[in-house]
Amino acid sequence: MTAWRVPPIVWRLVAFVGLLVVIGAVFRSQAPAYLTSGNLHALFRHMAIQGVVAVGLTFVIVVRHFDLSLPGVASFGAMTLGFLISKDAGLPVCILGCAGIGLGCGLISGLAVGVLRLPDVVATIAMGSIAYGLSFIYNDGASFSDNFFSSGILDLNDRAYFSVDAPVFILGMIALGAAVVLHMTRFGQAFYATGENQTSARFSGIPVRGYVAAAFAICGALTCLAMVLHVASSGVANVSSGNQILMPAYAAVYLGAALFGAASVPATLAGALLMSALLNGFTLLTVPYYYSDAVVSAVLMMAIAVFDPRLLASLRPLVSLFPRKALQRSA
């Protein structure tokens, strides 16, 4: 009779909870306000913004591509939202207009990468630069804050739904929808098939170019929806709205993938929570942004290294040098 083994997912969950506890304990020792109710609410509201971006980015990572256009597209979406609010267009129209900008920019990037076969790094940097330039057309780069109080945009940050802060509730709904699509439908599984082996996916009847384009389009739309939450939180729309979303989003996706073995929506949410816990602690300790950015970059590099199968393959010969004893129990 073989010994009962703990499922790997249990160890991964234990590692995640352990990291979260360590982060909480370290920052609590330096900043007593870290675990207070007010700060935890602020932490989760910040996580909501980064989490929505990271959930969209998960689709792009699943198809084995990169999207570096996020800051520029986010700024264009935020300025579009501010412009529409200033014109009193109605909040639903403003949100749809903002999301439409992201969807359009993402679709252009996706077609450039998936159909024209342009390098994803080059194509998305170009798209981000174009989008950032277009964000100046509305008000020559000046911020928008007109009609913000009367439009209802601020309620998306201040309200609570079912006793849950509105940004966290919105993140939960978006993550739930993304998880259902990506993990419980044939449409979602085709993204994974496309990322694993495009040739095999193509012979299986999957339109891989269309799925690559769809991944970028979803990423762009969710990036701009995250900017709706950002504008609701800050009370202003400006061209710098997207400056601080790229590294935390990538770190969340890759850290979650490293912890749970593959990129997925739940793994991304776990990574986003860890990154937000770190960034919130740095904010409480008034750590300069360039130090916190350095830590985020270091976490991203380590997560990518762990997630890279080539590194794991190179370590297997070293692991085989150590003797392993199988523990068995006879009946």
pLDDT in tens, 187-209: 999 999 999 999 999 999 999 99
Structure-token pair, residue 63? 């198809």
Q: How far apart are CA 149 and CA 261, in angstroms?
A: 44
Pick from 141-145, 214-218, 252-256, 307-311: least confident: 307-311
Q: How far apart are CA 40 and CA 73, in angstroms?
A: 29
Shortest CA distance to 106 belongs to which of 83, 94, 123? Answer: 123
The string of pLDDT tens digits covering residues 2-18 is: 556 778 788 889 889 99
pLDDT at residue 176 greater than cutoff 90:
yes
Pick from 40-49, 134-143, 168-177, 318-327: least confident: 318-327
Structure-token pair, residue 76? 């264009």
Burial classification of residue 317, based on how many CB atoms lie within 10 Å of its CB (0-12 exposed, 13-18 middle, 19 or more buried): exposed
The string of pLDDT tens digits covering residues 279-315 is: 999 999 888 877 888 888 888 787 777 666 555 565 5
Task: For the chain, give percent helix, strand, coil, nearest 5.
Answer: 75, 0, 25
pLDDT for the residue numbered 316: 55
pLDDT for the residue numbered 317: 58
Stretch 114-121: mean pLDDT: 95
Q: How far apart are CA 215 and CA 196, in angstroms?
A: 14
pLDDT for the residue numbered 331: 38
Stretch 256-277: mean pLDDT: 93
Residue 59 · residue 191 · CB < 8 Å: yes
Place of tokens 């939180």: 233
Percent of the chain with pLDDT over 90: 72
Backbone angles phi, psi at 160, to 5 degrees: -135, 140
pLDDT at residue 113 greater than cutoff 80:
yes
Q: How far apart are CA 295 and CA 289, in angstroms?
A: 10
Beta strands in the chain (DSSP E): 160-161, 164-165
Please work out, in degrees rounded to the nearest 5, the angle formed at the alpha carbon of residue 141 by the alpha carbons of 231 and 113.
75
Q: How far apart are CA 304 and CA 177, in angstroms?
A: 26
pLDDT for the residue numbered 302: 79
Does this model's pTM top 0.85? yes
Q: Which amino acid, 182?
A: L
| DSSP helix/strand/coil, 51 | helix
pLDDT at residue 247 greater than cutoff 80:
yes
Alpha carbon distances (Å) from 3 to 14, 135, 240, 323: 21, 61, 57, 19
pLDDT for the residue numbered 294: 86
